[in-house]
Chain A
């Protein structure tokens, strides 16, 4: 039996509980239904909750805890010498045991002790599964009987059901906070472990980035270098190029759409910009790497310029294109929010349309526009796929857009793709970079909101 069968069984039990609860309530009320405190269905829900929730809670808890407990039991059963291995090696060993247990091919030859441990592992897991089944079903039945006894005509079933529902709503609303807490906690924790190995000053101000891990202790450059300045410079370069494309084009197209375009054209162009906004970033990456970058390289070669095939220019321009609709729709909103009276006042003084836009509308909408730009910059900095596919991997400190540069996000991806060891500085460096990225974008976002709030003119 699989876990989904168990869930299905639980669902059936809960439905049964609904039926039983309703029936019990009706019989408790006797001939006069008015003596019931709540509508009969609420007694059904009440009992279904009693049957379902405790069992489900145990089920979830079990699944979360099971791997750790089984693993520690298996490790406890290993011979002394293996138990005292370093955490990394122990992890490998456990992996081997797991692979053996699930019948996969193991990389090395199977040591006799290993097979035993794997059998032990399988036995423990099977026992755990059976225990889970028994526990969950027993708890569901127990909840059902207990709840059923409590059903009387004057039981405030509706209030209790509503309390549970409200608790669920509250849980839903706290997930966002928990997510933020999870992000901050995991980034700070892993980055802290990284900063034990590499000093924060070296990370933030060092100018050499080559995060390879040594195979042997005595290898040349075994330490790796974790100076992230070239990454910051590369990120900045690409973001600047992107903003050079996105800001003018996005703003001008927003102005055109809001002020000049005839309504018919608007209804055509708006959806097109929305399509641009809805295209997945991997598609932009594909476009950048396979169309734009070769095009620049060949054009450069034709006019005698050496443009790298992973140039910052290609990645930056495509990223700018990706951000155009974002800038444009934010600017469009704020431009439309400027009241008509200001426009008409300006026309009345004899200003042309473009003069009105430049001297009246844009100043009035400026906080919103600047806020939009800041959000766009934060997007450019956090964008991953375009740079992973079109920008380079080597950390160059350059402001030449024809050269290849690398960015924070590219390095996070390259550090974390493939096999990871959770205790090597190489893996942990990704979390330190992630922390930097998170902080930068957070500051930009908060700054954007602040500017919009503080400097917004209130016209109403």
Chain B
């Protein structure tokens, strides 16, 4: 600052007048610099504001793009078909044998129904293009209806079946019909047929229930996140089951029982370091130790949970220790004073008081684990799995991995679904975080 430099130059033994002069000089120098300094202050403040604004804006853009891409995935364009279930096609023998019913050629029925709408489409190539507009899921819809209720055979049923993802994208306005035909996935003919269907009121847009009830699929319009949600559920439950007792045990031991010696120092340094090890390294550990050495089945929620347990353990331990530390020593002393053993004092008095803090830490740790992807890629949870996992040892995938797989897919419709899955995942995370905050607010105690 300039004033200190001027101050040093003051004459030491001088008359009253020269001191006055010197003072004036100083205050002139200071006020000469003031404008510059204030401008600098303003600028600095502005930088701070801009930085904060940048962070907030980025979050806004991120959420906005995801919601904008993801919202259309919640609706699915359907076509109304009236299908005649010819008995001679489905069940020529008429004995309603389930085997025959499930292997009948339902695709043909769908095609017949479509032919009824477009009697003018006759050439082989055109018909192939026409049939390609309807999702292969249509046949499954009819089949399951027939198997559930064989009395439908011989009747004419009105159903709504999903359109193929490309047509669905066109219906949602995501494909530009002006563009060159070679560069888009919908042909001019298909657009024409689609328009005719719209004119005849045969196209409807419905809430996409498939997204929430189905497992993965090669066809976007048949793909859903349910398989991944169930996989995440199994993985998270097992993670919670393993990490919570171990972490609480570790925290209680380190806070309440451990002697201060080298070994506990080693443990402490280890926990802090583990919290900062890249998650992918845990994946390598899981691959080499759990799969390679112990032979836990690959891609199973079990091996995923083991890896995530090791990952979340340090987080929960650190939070639990903080919670235990916040319980005042008077509680322990009072318990010991009335004759409780050390273990009783801890289990009956300290632990219940620290529990809300521990649970908060656990929920946050679980939220972290729920969004974790990288280590699970190493242990085979990236496989393409259609079935909804049935237990901790069956092959499964989890929500973040499903998002990764879908965002890698070339179809636009999968990108859309990946965004929708992100919205669901963020929803879960928000609920978990709110729960943690509520827990903290409700049980927070100031001693």
Q: Could you list which residues of chain A lie within 8 angstroms of chain B, going by C-beta atoms?
A: 64, 67-68, 158, 162, 165-166, 168-177, 179-180, 182-183, 186-187, 189-190, 248-253, 255-257, 259-261, 269, 272-273, 275-276, 278-287, 289-291, 321, 324-325, 328, 350-355, 357-358, 375, 378-379, 381-385, 388-389, 409, 412-413, 416-417, 422, 430-431, 434, 437-438, 441-442, 445-446, 449
Residue of A nearest to B400 (CB): A282
Task: Please tell me if B113 contacts chain A, counting CB pairs below 8 Å.
Answer: no
Q: Are B40 and A290 in contact (CB under 8 A)?
A: no
Partner of B55, one of A173, A177, A273, A409: A273
Partner of B404, one of A165, A250, A285, A291: A285
A contact residues around B44 at 8 Å (CB):
354, 357-358
Chain B residues numbered 54-87 whose CB sits less than 8 Å from any CB in chain A: 54-56, 58-59, 61-62, 65-66, 69
B contact residues around A416 at 8 Å (CB):
283-284, 287, 377-378
Whole-angstrom distance between the Cβ of A136 and the nearest chain B Cβ: 19
Q: Apart from A251-B51, A431-B288, what 11 extra A-B contacts exist at CB < 8 Å?
A: A165-B343, A173-B249, A249-B51, A259-B48, A260-B49, A272-B59, A279-B62, A283-B62, A321-B58, A350-B1, A409-B278
Q: How far is the CA of A317 from the CA of B45 in the complex (A)?
A: 24
Whole-angstrom distance between the Cβ of B275 and the nearest chain A Cβ: 9
Q: How far is the CA of A400 from the CA of B178 in the complex (A)?
A: 37
Q: Mark B1-13, 1 if CB is under 8 A from A, else 0.
A: 1010000000000
Q: Are B51 and A253 in contact (CB under 8 A)?
A: yes
Q: Are B294 and A64 in contact (CB under 8 A)?
A: yes
Q: Are B41 and A352 in contact (CB under 8 A)?
A: yes
Q: Could you list which residues of chain B lie within 8 angstroms of chain A, going by C-beta atoms?
A: 1, 3, 30, 37-38, 40-41, 44-45, 47-52, 54-56, 58-59, 61-62, 65-66, 69, 245-250, 252-254, 257-258, 266-267, 270-274, 276-285, 287-289, 292, 294-295, 310, 313-314, 317, 341, 343, 347, 367, 370-374, 377-378, 382, 400-401, 403-404, 407-408, 415, 418-419, 422, 425-426, 429, 433
Q: How far is the CA of A269 from the CA of B59 in the complex (A)?
A: 11
28 contacts between A and B (CB under 8 A): A165-B343, A166-B257, A172-B246, A172-B253, A173-B254, A179-B310, A183-B281, A186-B289, A187-B288, A252-B47, A253-B51, A261-B52, A276-B59, A279-B371, A280-B425, A286-B407, A286-B418, A287-B62, A290-B69, A321-B58, A324-B55, A324-B58, A384-B280, A389-B408, A412-B284, A417-B382, A441-B278, A442-B277
Q: Are A67 and B372 in contact (CB under 8 A)?
A: no
Given the known interface contacts A169-B250, A272-B55, the answer about A176 and B313 at a Cβ–Cβ threshold of 8 Å is yes
What's the A-B contact tally at a CB cutoff of 8 Å? 254
Residue of B nearest to A385 (CB): B373
Given the known interface contacts A279-B426, A282-B404, A385-B374, the answer about A248 and B51 at a Cβ–Cβ threshold of 8 Å is yes
Partner of A177, one of B38, B49, B270, B408: B270
Residue of B nearest to A168 (CB): B249
SS class, residues of chain B in contact with chain A: helix
SS class, residues of chain A in contact with chain B: helix
Residue of A nearest to B59 (CB): A276
Residue of A nearest to B372 (CB): A280
Whole-angstrom distance between the Cβ of B132 and the nearest chain A Cβ: 26
Partner of B422, one of A283, A321, A413: A283
B contact residues around A256 at 8 Å (CB):
45, 48-49, 51-52
A contact residues around B429 at 8 Å (CB):
278-280
Q: Are A384 and B278 in contact (CB under 8 A)?
A: yes
Residue of A nearest to B50 (CB): A252
Q: Are A352 and B37 in contact (CB under 8 A)?
A: yes
Q: How far is the CA of A352 from the CA of B371 in the complex (A)?
A: 44
Q: Are A182 and B378 in contact (CB under 8 A)?
A: no
B contact residues around A324 at 8 Å (CB):
55, 58
Q: How far is the CA of A182 from the CA of B288 in the complex (A)?
A: 9
Whole-angstrom distance between the Cβ of A138 and the nearest chain B Cβ: 25
